[in-house]
Structure 1
């Protein structure tokens, strides 16, 4: 993995804030040693059940004509996550923090590419496809080692690598639920943040795809047609049905989605643009509350077939909110996922 940076003791010491008579998460969490040269060996040997890694890129968003941030959610997440309490409710020893993909080598090139120019757009698609390969590979390794993956950051283009990696590891297609204001089921026009699910579905890696909370104002004719074309495989519950017109109950809808997906290994995708006023590429004044997002993750993760959590599209630089707020949100969602998973095994 050419673009992967291992987490290490030096980075931990930069971020960890110690306090007397307290034990922070970072003091007990597992991570590769400086001598680690083979990530596959580490994954197979660690006793941690959950493997956390980040993806630092905005190219998929730019290729989809979206707003790109300046600060990656992975860096913001780490300072919050490592400094929560290690206590009876969650032990850090269950978690391995392995590092992140960093695609900053493309920054100068990406900044000079204009998606409105066809040749530039094609190059953006090519870079996203290169990222797909590495994200797929690491996800495959994690799941083949019997671990669950927690993926932080990047555009929603990275859903494709998460899905393909899990499907390859399991040797069969999987189910996916996407908590999102958008379906990200755009046309197969070249890889970007708006079509990771449509590519994965078209290539046979997805069996059933459920979108939870999509905003009706952003459903184009192509998407509506595709969901009508495959009613047994493509499921949609809109935000307006639940929270505006009250045609469907929020908690009942989550349970119905869980019933649809839990029959085989499934992934949980969270785009933070579904949460009201959270800094993201498609930040919205209307959306679910943070508490509702936490309830969704907790309920959807409450089954042994829940295999990964991916939280994407966040960037504190896209609003005036403090970085600490986004970092706490990401930390809450990650710990909710892991706690729910651990409870399944009890």
Structure 2
């Protein structure tokens, strides 16, 4: 391996001497600068394994050189050997604070110079190897995690399809609702991690319908009050199916399933939660779910127009829905239309989330 060494000293004789000593080591190439600002600019824009810098220089002394180098992205760990004729401890303390790695005092002993330079190169190489190893391990962890996430995502889709087979709603509804939910989350300023989590967990909002009898779930007309009370149980059924998992996605799905029929004014079910006591994911899914249900055709109803559905959602802000979630949906209307176009009811909705 050939190392790259940078030498910065305003005295030409020192540059010649240090360059000769580096070449004597046999494993390094050197770059020399008599101008500290020029040397710093080169160090900031090139890979370098060791920097040898004088303390007393015009324009930019060694301590300022090191400080500015350390402030440069990616240069925090480059070994720096400071050479100075000044043996005062205060200078060395300041240099250490600035980020110097080691020191030599003029006149430089050639044997000591080579030994220290070589040791610092080996130390730097070891640090790089360790960093590369850490990056490789991190990469392997990311791969393994991606595989786990993919399996988890498949589980979610299959769970959602289990409910879909017993529900007149289509798979395209699940996909549209999930993407509307993600869109609202983004508009609310939720983190990317929360947006991704909501996209993956929201399709399970109605998983509890697998526990509802067919004569109620598949009834083509309006439910009687008694039947509607039975239908309400699907929220807790979904929560009980998903609760207790170690998976963040299933945990989020459980909370969404339980609370997505809560209403902002407290008149919803199953617990009559009000306002911000309703989990944010459930408030988001409530808007996305109802908006898509209104604008989708079902065996028992015609689809509402986008304008009529939007008006209804807006009128229900603060009553049924969180006004901020409503605002976030309609603030991104072009994307709403794009999602609606991408996931059509007549398609077999094999698309992945």
TM-score range, shorter chain: under 0.3
Q: Which has the higher helix share?
A: 2
Is the radius of gyration larger for structure 1 or structure 2? 2
Bigger relative contact order (CA 8 A; separation at least 6): 1
The TM-score with structure 1 as length reference comes to: 0.26
